[in-house]
Amino acid sequence: MTKKKTPPPKPPAYQRPLPFPVYTYTPLDHDEREKLRGMISDPVFQKVIRNAHARKPGVNPAGTGMAPTEHSQLIANNRLHQLQGWEMLEAAIFAQAEETLPRTFVPLKETYPTENS
């Protein structure tokens, strides 16, 4: 009697992540920024970004009609908010790959000509 070969284990199935919970902002350190830059320069990530741009909603929403009404203006306003959301997410992702420089604020000392005399 021969032993049956066990099949190789299946890789875990892809599970779509749940909607992102709200986290506090924690800046990336240097190594993490380098990894992010590597991901951004990866051809697969470049293709993902191009595909996302292809699915970005157009600037002309359907159903606005010819005459400006309250309903058509609301639709157009909602479309502008959608587009702003797309651009804000992209900016938030790519901004994390940039170096952050510490800024020091020196308070201004106000001087007036009458004080110097």
Q: What is the pLDDT of residues 36-73, one digit of tens each?
A: 999 999 999 999 999 988 988 887 766 555 666 667 77
* 33 within domain boundaries: yes
Residue-averaged pLDDT of the chain: 82
pLDDT greater than 90 at residue 112 = no
pLDDT greater than 70 at residue 116 = no
pTM: 0.58
* 47 within domain boundaries: yes
Longest CA–CA separation in the chain, Å: 110
Domain holding 37, by residue range, is 27-51
| Measured distance CA(86)–CA(95) in Å, rounded | 14
* 88 within domain boundaries: no
* 32 within domain boundaries: yes
* 93 within domain boundaries: no
Q: How many domains does the chain have?
A: 1
* 98 within domain boundaries: no
| Measured distance CA(79)–CA(62) in Å, rounded | 10
* 114 within domain boundaries: no
